[in-house]
Every structure is written in C-alpha cells, then in structure tokens.
Amino acid sequence: MAPKPVNVRVITMDAELEFAIQPNTTGKQLFDQVVKTIGLREIWFFGLLYTDSKDFPCWLKLNKKVLSQDLKKSTTKPLAFKFRARFFPEEVSEELIQEITQKLFFLQIKESILTDEIYCPPETCVLLASYAMQAKHGDYSQDIHRPGSLLQERLLPRRVMEQYQLSAEEWEKRVVTWWKEHNGILKEEAMLEYLKIAQDLEMYGVNYFDIRNKKGTELYLGVDALGLNIYDKQDKLTPKIGFPWSEIRNVSFSDKKFVIKPMDKKSPDFVFFAQRLRINRRILSLCMGNHELYMRRRKTDSIEVQQMKAQAHEEKLMRLQERERIQAEVERRKLAEQDREVMQKRMNDLERSADAARQALEDQNRMTKDLEDKRRQAEEAQFRLQQERDDAEREHERMMERINYEQGEKDKIVQEIEKTRILADKKAQEAQQKEYEARQLEQELREANKKVHEAQESNNNHYIDSHPMDVEESDDEENSTTGRFGQGVELKTDEHASRHEENRTTATTRDQNMKQKLEAERRHLGQRQQKEETREDKIYRENTIDKGIDKYRTLKKIREGTVKRRIDEFEAM
C-alpha cells in the first residue's frame, strides 16, 4: 500500500502555496519545489521557517526528511511553513538581482519595520511609507488617490502614529507630500529605493541572541551579513565591540558554550554562553551562512550569478525602453488632447461667431422688412394725397365756374374760393412733405438692401472660415548543519578580504536634498509630539543627531584595535 501524502502549506510574503509531499520527502526537495513555483533563482538568501513542538521558530533542515523534524503537527490543518529571507545582503542594489528577490525582501523588511522588529525613526518611516505607496500604486494621481483613499493602508508603525498628535488624515498628507516627489519611478525601482534606505537602519538584517560572557554579564550577540557584534542589553542600536567575518577562522560550541577562534592565532578565543543548546545551533548555522556569503561577495561572481546579472540587466533595459515608449505615448496623447482642446475651442468660437452673424442677418432682414412696409405706406399716402389734390383742383374748377354764373353771391364765393385755395395749398404742402418722406424711405431702403447684401456675403465668408478643411485631427486612441551536544566548523577565511563596509555612507548622507527634507520632517513632527520618546528614539537622536554618527561609522569604530584588545573588552563588560 502506497504511503499517504501529507499536505503542506507554504506562506510567502505575497502568496500561499500548497503541496502534497511524501513521508520520505527531504527539506531540500520541498524547498526546491517552492523556489521553482515562484521562479526564484537567488535561493541562498532564503529558507523555510516552521514552529516546533515547543513553539520555537526553527529553520527547516534541507538535508533531512521533512517529517522527521520536530514539526508542530495538526490533525486537521496542513503542515505550515513560512518562506522567508534567512540571510541579508550587504548592498541590496548590487546583490539582489531578480525582481522576485527584491520584492520578497521589500515585503519582509517592510513588515519588520511596521511591526517595530526593526527600529526606524519617525521621519524615515514617513519617507519609506511614500516609497511603499509608489511600489504598490505607481505614480500619485490626484484624481485617483483622493483624500482618505490611503486610510486603509498600513503606512506607519503604531508606535509612530501614537507618539504624535496627528490624525490619520494628517499622516496621509505627510506621506502623500513625499509620494508626489517619486513621480516617474517604476514600481520595481521604488522597492529598491525603499531597501537602500532600510539597509542603513541599525537593526536591519541583525539576528539578536541573549548571551553571557565569562563574568556572567548579560549581553546581546548580533549576527549579520558583516560579522559578529556585541550589544549592551539596553541598546540594540549601538554595538560596543565588533568582529568582521574576515577575522574569524573557526566557530564551534559544546553544550551552551560557544567558542570563536580568530584568524590571529596569538589572540585568545572569543567565548560566550547561550541559555540553550538550540540557541548555539542557530548561531552556528547563521555564522556559517553569513560567513560564506561575506567571502563570496569579495570574489568574482560565479557563472550562474554573472548570467543572472546579465539577464537582469537586459530586462532592466527592456523595462526602461518600455517606460520611455509609454512616456512618449502618454506625451503624444497629451499633445493630441491639447490639440483637440484647441481645435474644439476654435470650433466653439467659430460657431459663436456664426451664430452672431446669423442673428445680425436676421435683425437686418427684419429691419429691411420694416422699411419696406414704411415705404409702401408712404407710397399709399402719396397716392391718396395726389387724389385729394386732383379732387381739390376739380373742385376749384367747379367753384370758378359757379363764380362766373353766380355774380350775386360773389363775396361768399370769393371767401369759399379763398378757403379752398388755402386748403389746397395746405394739401399741396402736405403732399410735398409726404413726397419728401417717401424719397427718404426709398434712400433708407436702398441702404438697407446694401447692408443685407453685405451681411449675406459676410455670412458666406464666415461659413468658409468655420469649416476646418485645413486641419487634420487624429482618431487614433491607442497607437547547516546541526550539532549534537557539540559541533564546530572551520571557516574558509581570507584574512585579507576587503572590509570596504567600514567606509560606506548611508543613502541619506549621499543625498543632501533628502537629508535636509528629513530634517525638516523631523522638526515638523517634533512640534506635534504628545508622547515621550522611546528608548530607541533617544539612542537614535543621541547617535545620529547629536553626535553625527551612523551605522557604518559605528562599525568602523568598534572594530578598531587588535582582536585581543576587543576580546579583553568583551570579557571586561
């Protein structure tokens, strides 16, 4: 009977994967299946994290069967693993090659900052939040990202939001102010910019362990990509003593005792004690992995890494070309839209002018009609006056005839004649006045007809101007090893390996503009502070602001002097 497969759930930073494994499946086989599924080639940074039967986090051993390890099992749920970065790069921009690798680191570091696993000063939290928004949403758009649209986003650590008297809307404005400055940066570039700033944080990539020296003083051991550092129990930001990996040739432990042998054989062993055996096993595993990567970085890249870098370079060029093409297309559409708006405005202006011309023509036609009516009335009045004058003349003739025959009534007739003459003169004067008015109306009519003719010609010319025959408008819309009770390993160390990390500077030191803006942000927030600074805030302010030191200056300082002197300092703590 075939063995029954076991269901496994692997949670990456942005996905959940499920597999069915056999009882004899090794950790490496499961790990290989995961990285193949997500398309990851830079596998040396990552591991599978699980919770053991005692609720301690543990890294899956690749050389052993999955089911033989001390997994916390459930009868109803699949076996659960987290796919996480176990080792961290010294310089993200040089070591993280694939886009998927950069994304996984970005999401994991962002989560560590938001949960305060990694301390980040408030003003830098705001800056990182703006890069996170650029990485998630792309360029800020006032139309899309309206006020309140980011309120559901996890922008800042709770510690920061509670420390200052700012509402969620005010925090959103602070983040948006920075976000607007990232316009044009690709999402992938924004993730890398986030990591460039985050890698300068003092707690970035450090695994802390509770240890004691021979005197029994409780201290922290910090293991990271650059070496081993010793911290005071009250200060995880400022290491007191440091040993680069190039100074270490052998690491081993026996039960709770851990021994580190320096390359300088004249120096005494560096000895400390952990609380549990499992802690020493984890320290040993981290030492081996970080040491190997430290030395590998200081050698010529392997063929595989060279190929990955070449491929990544080509993909980056393609993305840049695509971005340029998109930007050119956006600009072309923008110009086309502007041309359309200009043309539309011109058409609207022409239509308004044509409407005005038509209205003027209608007014002129109405005026002409009124003048025609007046002229006709004048002609009719003139005709009536002429008839009245003719009638008066005929009446005058009849009266004269009567005068000849009626001599007896001469005086009376003379008077009537005189009256008739006066009336006739008056009528004649009125007729002359009407005739004059008629001539005036004729003159006005001729001028009105002339204006009508001119208005018609103007309207015809206007119609020709308003028809854009000479304008072309485009219709184109889219053109390990584990130990028993004791174990050790001899490290392949080049004592002359470069220690260039001691001369590095932070991203904000290199960018004075960013440095000044962060200082302004710090002053602005300082005016709204409502809670006391945390211990880490005070340490950071004392180191960075008051003393002007940073992570790399501190690193150089704590490595000064002989190995023996530093070990003696450790023993004396």
pLDDT (0 to 100) of residue 127:
96
In this structure, is residue 12 part of a structural domain?
yes
The boundaries of the domain holding residue 52 are: 6-85
**What's the CATH number where 73 sits?**
3.10.20.90
Residues 6+ apart with CB under 8 A from 167: none
Domain count, the chain: 2
For residue 221, being part of any structural domain is answered with yes
In this structure, is residue 220 part of a structural domain?
Answer: yes
User: CB of 245 within 8 A of CB of 291?
Assistant: yes
Domain edge (last residue) among 41, 66, 85: 85
Determine how β-strand 16-21 pairs with β-strand 6-11. antiparallel
Range name among 33-42, 389-398, 509-518 with the lowest pLDDT average: 389-398
pLDDT for the residue numbered 453? 67
pLDDT digit string, tens, across residues 492-528 = 777 777 788 888 888 888 899 999 999 999 999 989 9
* pLDDT average, residue stretch 116-139: 96
Handedness of CA 543, 545, 547, 549 (dihedral sign): positive
The per-residue pLDDT for 397 is 81
- pLDDT number for residue 403: 67
276 pLDDT band, cuts 50/70/90, is confident
* pLDDT number for residue 414: 67
Residue 464 has pLDDT above 50, yes or no: no
- Whether 4 has a pLDDT exceeding 60, the answer reads yes
pLDDT (tens digit, 9 = 90+) per residue, 67-101?
Answer: 999 998 887 889 999 999 999 999 999 999 999 99
- The overall average pLDDT reported for the chain is 87
What value does the mean pLDDT take over residues 319-336?
A: 85
Q: Classify residue 193: in a domain, yes or no.
A: no
pLDDT(535) > 70: yes
Query: Does 473 reside within a domain?
Result: no
> Which residue, of 85, 107, 126, is where some domain finishes?
85
CATH of the domain at 292: 2.30.29.30
Q: Which of the listed residues 53, 85, 117 is the one where a domain comes to its end? A: 85
Q: What share of the chain is helix, strand, coil (3-state, %, to 5)?
A: 55, 15, 30
**pLDDT at position 475 over 60:** no
Q: Check residue 540 and give its pLDDT.
A: 94
CA separation, residue 528 to residues 164, 214, 395 (Å): 5, 46, 113
Q: Rounded to an integer, what distance in angstroms lies between the CA atom of residue 260 and that of residue 269? A: 6
> Does some domain include residue 172?
no
The pLDDT of 413-429, averaged and rounded, is 76
Residue in the block written with tokens 């174990």: 487
pLDDT digits (tens, 9 = 90+) for 192-247: 999 999 999 999 999 999 999 999 999 999 999 999 999 999 999 999 999 999 99
Structural domain includes residue 354: no
Contact predicate 228/221, CB 8 Å: yes
Contacts of 527 (CB under 8 A, 6+ apart): none
- Is residue 565 included in any domain, yes or no? yes
- Greater pLDDT, 1 or 123: 123
Whole-angstrom distance, CA of residue 49 vs CA of residue 55:
12
* Least confident among 349-363, 399-413, 415-429, 461-475: 461-475
Per the structure block, which two tokens stand in for 128? 């990182």
